[in-house]
Amino acid sequence: MNRSKFAFVLAAAGVGFLALLVFLPSRHGTFLNWDDDALIVQNAEFRGLGWTQLRWMFSTTFMGHYQPLTWVSYALNFESGGLNPTGYLLTNVVLHCIAAVLVFALTSRILAITMPRIGAAVLILASMAGAWLFALHPLRVESVAWITERRDVLSSVFLLASVWAWLSYAMGRRQAHLWYIASVGLLLLSLLSKAWGMTLFAVLLVLDIYPLLRWSRGSAQRLLIEKLPFLILGVAAAARALMAQSSAVMAERERGWLYRALQSIYGLAFYPWKSLLPIGLSPIYEHPTQLSVSELRILAAIAAVIGITVVLFVLRHRWPAGLAAWAIYVIVISPVLGLVQAGPQFVADRYSYLACIPFVVLLAAGIAKLAARFGSKWVGGAVAATLIALVILTGRQIPVWRDSWSLWRAAIEHDPTSWNANSNLGSLYFKANDFPAAERHYRLAHDAVPHFALPTVNLAWCLGRMGKNDECLVLLRQASAMDSVSNNDMLMIANGLKALKQSGEAREMLERLIARDPRDGEAHFRLANLLNESGESDRAAEQFRIAIELLEPSILVGPIDLQHDLVAAMYARSCRSLAGLLAARGDAAGMEKYNAKLRAIEAAAIRPGNLQNR
């Protein structure tokens, strides 16, 4: 290895090592009660690498995302450490370090193309600075310190590698056809981790124009044809992502085109602004109740987006890099600007992970030019001061994501009216049996979105635990009629109605839920109990049988945790009840079959949990 290659490798290692040092404290985090619980802790489907688990991973759109390779990475974490969050978080950190190294490699290659006369030392130092500006920025914390967002960093690693391979192909490196195949293959891996790379076709077209300078009338057709695989994969991923999101339960009500347009413009301005001034960050930026073109922040965003676009277009011949970076940013960020809404967030820090990389490359080029003109001493000092400031801000942001308490308190500090933050913090107090504090936060959440079922159900249950049964019943009935009621909401409503001696209404709710989702094992179990209590033994027996079939796969997969215990309790009670009903019919063989299932639970040391509060 010659000296220049050794310096490059050493610099790449330095980029990754510093990113590791800064983000290593995030390994002390826990699973959060924001998607981590449903996605990982309570989900037995991904736990293993057998055919059954892999088939589920490559077919599911659970929680609104198609991400089979992300599921595989979770399965590997589970195989090596169970539900110890440290392993999951360390994996996120390592992936982020790899992404940082790839940003360094891409930046150095683009600088070499656009600034061929730059010295090797300046090129490497400027590329390191750019990679660190990406890797050490507090906007990265959400993607790295939140286990759910593994898909961000994993898909980004593959996508950045795909672009690197594409540049090798486009620059005519040896065995260019292999680089081309590698680029397409890496894009596929990225899309199987998350649909971020759906816009890569358009990004590569921009790169052809600048900095590769491949675009001309004579080569236009060839350039388009060679990108057809990227276009096909991107369209397929976009369609799959749209299907996945439409299958998820949307928390927000539909919004008109003007609202979405204004949201998109605001988002275009938000991410560069927060990149320049990363203060006031929040785990969630909720949709405003109203959005008007006359608002100061919207007017400022419109002016900024139009102004930047016009200025860069006018300067396109003198400074093509500026327009190219802005175009790539707009292309990459476009799927998450809000035109196709998914989730309760107005904007989100994590969306900047890939989209702002073009600005990092632009900054690295600026650093290189300034260093060549004024000397690396002064420029290096300014860059070092900036990086130190970013490290300090990132060090303060990482503890926000350490646990659910710190997460939601930080969100409420940013926005005291946030219904998401108040609802989730209320749930923490509820589990801690601090019902007055839970009620306070649940009421704030309910008042913010009175027509949304989740906070209504939460408040109702809290009031029920406090003995305020009349108000609890009113709220449960209100929630049952809301369009936003989810499967879990319906279960909680049914359980609450039964506890309040409203068995008829509880039964209607469970039948409605089963009609919506016939594979909800708990719904069948709850309905079976109600039917059994009302003397409808034949229907009860059939519902217990269905519940057993649906619940059995979950209890056969470890580890033994609270959710697993609750499922095991429903399974055991279903077996016991069905065995009793079959015995009453004189079906000795059937009775023995389900008694044998009970004995199998005991032999496997599966402990049924307590269903009293469920």
Q: What is the DSSP-derived secondary structure letter of residue 58?
A: T
Residues pairing with 345 in the sheet: 286
Q: Does residue 256 belong to any structural domain of this protein?
A: yes
Could you give phi then psi for residue 192, rounded to 5 degrees? -80, -5
| 606 and 485 in a common domain | no
Q: Does residue 362 belong to any structural domain of this protein?
A: yes
| 192 and 48 in a common domain | yes
Q: Does residue 165 belong to any structural domain of this protein?
A: yes
pLDDT band at residue 216 using 50, 70 and 90 as cut-offs? confident
Q: Does residue 528 belong to any structural domain of this protein?
A: no
Task: Summarize the confidence of residues 28-34 as an average pLDDT.
Answer: 94
Each residue of 383-435: pLDDT tens digit? 999 999 999 999 999 999 999 999 999 999 999 999 999 999 999 999 999 99
For 350, the 3-state DSSP assignment is: helix
Each residue of 345-375: pLDDT tens digit? 899 999 999 999 999 999 999 999 998 877 7
pTM beyond 0.75: the answer is: yes
Each residue of 299-322: pLDDT tens digit? 999 999 999 999 999 999 999 999
Residue 562 has pLDDT above 60, yes or no: no
Of 465, 483, 518, which residue sits at a domain end? 518
| 454 and 337 in a common domain | no
Each residue of 260-293: pLDDT tens digit? 899 999 999 999 999 999 999 999 999 888 888 8
In angstroms, the CA 240 to CA 66 distance is 7
Q: State residue 605's pLDDT score.
A: 53
For 386, counting Cβ atoms within 10 Å of its Cβ (0-12 exposed, 13-18 middle, 19+ buried), the class is middle
CA-based R_g, the chain, Å: 27
Residue 560 has pLDDT above 50, yes or no: no
Q: Which of 39-48, 472-481, 501-510, 517-526 has the lowest mean pLDDT?
A: 39-48
Q: Does residue 491 belong to any structural domain of this protein?
A: yes
Residues pairing with 286 in the sheet: 345
Of 373, 401, 429, which residue sits at a domain end? 401
Q: Which of 18-27, 225-234, 519-528, 562-571 has the lowest mean pLDDT?
A: 562-571
For 347, the 3-state DSSP assignment is: strand
| 543 and 465 in a common domain | no
Q: Which of 39-43, 111-115, 529-533, 558-562 has the lowest mean pLDDT?
A: 558-562
| 122 and 75 in a common domain | yes
CATH of the domain at 497: 1.25.40.10
Q: State residue 553's pLDDT score.
A: 79
- CA angle (33 as vertex; 29, 39 as ends), nearest 5: 95
Q: Which domain holds residue 390?
A: 3-401
376 token code pair: 């690396």
Average pLDDT, the chain: 90
Closest CA to 388 of 140, 129, 141, 143: 129
Of 518, 553, 581, which residue sits at a domain end? 518
| 116 and 49 in a common domain | yes
| 176 and 92 in a common domain | yes
| 193 and 225 in a common domain | yes
Counted domains in the chain: 3
| 568 and 472 in a common domain | no
Q: Does residue 475 belong to any structural domain of this protein?
A: yes
For every residue of 246-315, DSSP letters joined together read: HHSPP-SPP--HHHHHHHHHHHHHHHHHHHHS--S--S-EEPPS---TTSHHHHHHHHHHHHHHHHHHHT
| 566 and 512 in a common domain | no
| 605 and 464 in a common domain | no
For 413, the 3-state DSSP assignment is: helix
| 173 and 83 in a common domain | yes
pLDDT band at residue 76 using 50, 70 and 90 as cut-offs? very high
In angstroms, the CA 448 to CA 610 distance is 34
Q: Does residue 493 belong to any structural domain of this protein?
A: yes
pLDDT band at residue 606 using 50, 70 and 90 as cut-offs? low
